Amino acid sequence: FFESCPGHVGSRDTMKLVDLRDKDDDWDYDDACVEIRDGFRWILPYYKEHEFRVSNPQPGDTVAAVFRKKFNTARSVSKDIAKGKYRRVAIDGTDEAITDEYMPAEDGMVIRYSVHVHEPPVTADPIPIVYEDAHCIVINKPASIPSQVSPPFYRNSVLGVLCSQERSRAGQRLKFLSIIHRLDLPTSGILMIGKNNEAVTHLRQAMNGDGGSESELPTRKHYVARVKCNFPDDQITVNKRLWCKTDARRGAGEVRVRYLEDGEDPPPDHDWVKSARTMFRKIGYDAETGTSTVNCWLATGRTHQIRVHLLSLGYPIVNDPDYGWSASKKTKKSGIQECDMQKCADCGCSYIVNPLRLNMLYLHALSYGQWEGPDGRDEPCGCPEGCGRQDPAQGTYAFHCPPPPWL
């Protein structure tokens, strides 16, 4: 479990691999559906089946209402029900079409539905592996590839792309993978992936500590960002609470986070309020572009914490579509910022046909770990490919990846 720097990548022979076979994993698929065009990785449209069980419905709940609540979406399902895409599953596994969206929802009812999936394209660049041993893989996640498998990304997620790389290398697939933490889709940098349950438990405990909502992280997280204007020379520590409200109108999983000034209360319908602390120190200023590069150290790990705290200081990340000064009220839930759209003749949904540029945020996770340098902060080793080390006996680890090209 322990490998010291500068052993950038552990032995590839230690990877847990099994022969490729059909399984119902979101990221286990036939590579024949993948196309590489113009620097983008495309997944050909396909149908995907889902099942969910109705649990403790409220009196008067219909099938359509339960679906909207479960997936936190305001979209109508009437057209899908009319097309027979929703089916009730019997105990013997057979199913029958649901033709009435006002059908009462019953506790224990199993609903099967199919979706025509149009996955947005992501970068075709391979995912660099910073560190690897028998228990974990640490990668330098490219921007535009989502950390987690969630609609509309399945095969173009980190796990989907990484497993495709391994099939190309050895004709086999990884037996077990689990994301330890997450990075926002447009953010690049360190991402840890466990290969077995023990490693996942160990690394999550090492990263989150006791898991208390108000506690600071035992893991030092070092990011770099490019922000608007000339950032102050002095180190700045931001202690501002964050609150969140999920906006169902923007789709399931779409959240916007806001900061609270001292003494300010959140709106009554908020999802959560948490303390947050971030330290910032300027690296340099580019007078030509009017932007600064900034070191960011997280003491707590909240959703969009760095992005919101920089906005609260008046120095938002240069190209942040959600928290920049010119943030749009509606942003695309994809890895693409500018694109041409086309409507699918089969399902009627709009999908990307001509991406112009990737959704790349000037925010990069440079290092994660438990260590101290001469000034009490992390001390990157300077390895051009990145490196890592683990010592489970001491419960410590440290992973570094190269700086981004824009730094």
| 226 falls within a domain | yes
Considering the domain architecture, whether residues 128 and 113 belong to the same structural domain is answered as: no
Domain boundary among 96, 117, 138: 117
What's at 57, amino acid-wise? P
% of the chain exceeding 70 in pLDDT: 73
Considering the domain architecture, whether residues 73 and 179 belong to the same structural domain is answered as: no
Considering the domain architecture, whether residues 206 and 242 belong to the same structural domain is answered as: no
| 265 falls within a domain | yes
Domain that holds residue 60: 46-117
Considering the domain architecture, whether residues 248 and 228 belong to the same structural domain is answered as: yes
* Among candidate residues 378, 256, 363, 360, the one with its CA nearest the CA of residue 310: 363
Whether the Cβ atoms of residue 367 and residue 379 lie closer than 8 Å to each other: no
Domain boundary among 70, 87, 117: 117
| 1 falls within a domain | no
Of 143-157, 250-264, 384-398, give the range with the top mean pLDDT.
143-157
Partner residues linked to 87 by β-bridges: 97, 112
pLDDT of residue 2 exceeding 60, the answer is: no
Supply the CATH number for residue 82's domain.
3.10.290.10
Confidence bin at 244 (pLDDT 50/70/90): confident
**Segment 394-405 mean pLDDT:** 80
Considering the domain architecture, whether residues 241 and 336 belong to the same structural domain is answered as: yes
| 103 falls within a domain | yes
Report which of residues 67 and 26 the model is more confident about: 67
Domain boundary among 101, 117, 133: 117
Confidence bin at 375 (pLDDT 50/70/90): very low
% of the chain exceeding 90 in pLDDT: 22
Considering the domain architecture, whether residues 267 and 345 belong to the same structural domain is answered as: yes
| 2 falls within a domain | no
pLDDT of residue 151 exceeding 70, the answer is: yes
What's at 245, amino acid-wise? K
Tens digit of each residue's pLDDT (9 = 90 or more) over 209-219: 655 555 566 67
**Segment 7-12 mean pLDDT:** 32
Considering the domain architecture, whether residues 296 and 184 belong to the same structural domain is answered as: no
Residue 81 backbone phi and psi in degrees, to 5? -65, -40
| 5 falls within a domain | no
**Residue 23 has what DSSP assignment?**
-
Answer whether 0.85 is exceeded by the pTM: no
**Segment 43-58 mean pLDDT:** 84
Tens digit of each residue's pLDDT (9 = 90 or more) over 225-242: 999 999 999 999 999 989
Considering the domain architecture, whether residues 34 and 57 belong to the same structural domain is answered as: no
The rounded mean pLDDT for the chain is 76
Residue 145: is it exposed, middle or buried by C-beta count within 10 angstroms (0-12/13-18/19+)?
A: buried
Tens digit of each residue's pLDDT (9 = 90 or more) over 282-306: 999 999 999 999 999 998 888 899 9
Report which of residues 362 and 149 the model is more confident about: 362
| 405 falls within a domain | no
Confidence bin at 27 (pLDDT 50/70/90): low
Whether the Cβ atoms of residue 355 and residue 339 lie closer than 8 Å to each other: yes
Q: How far, in Å, CA of 179 to CA of 72, rounded?
A: 23
| 70 falls within a domain | yes
pLDDT of residue 79 exceeding 90, the answer is: no
Considering the domain architecture, whether residues 104 and 35 belong to the same structural domain is answered as: no
User: Which positions ≥6 away from 374 have C-beta within 8 Å?
Assistant: none
State the pLDDT at residue 56.
85
Considering the domain architecture, whether residues 179 and 265 belong to the same structural domain is answered as: no
pLDDT of residue 277 exceeding 70, the answer is: yes
Report how many domains make up the chain. 3
Residue 241: is it exposed, middle or buried by C-beta count within 10 angstroms (0-12/13-18/19+)?
A: middle
Considering the domain architecture, whether residues 68 and 204 belong to the same structural domain is answered as: no
pLDDT of residue 255 exceeding 70, the answer is: no
**Residue 40's Cα: distance from chain center in Å?**
19
Tens digit of each residue's pLDDT (9 = 90 or more) over 84-139: 778 888 877 788 888 887 888 888 888 888 778 888 899 999 999 988 888 888 99
Q: Compute the CA torsion angle 308, 313, 318, 321 (nearest 10 deg).
A: 30
Considering the domain architecture, whether residues 169 and 71 belong to the same structural domain is answered as: no
State the pLDDT at residue 8.
33
Whether the Cβ atoms of residue 7 and residue 17 lie closer than 8 Å to each other: no
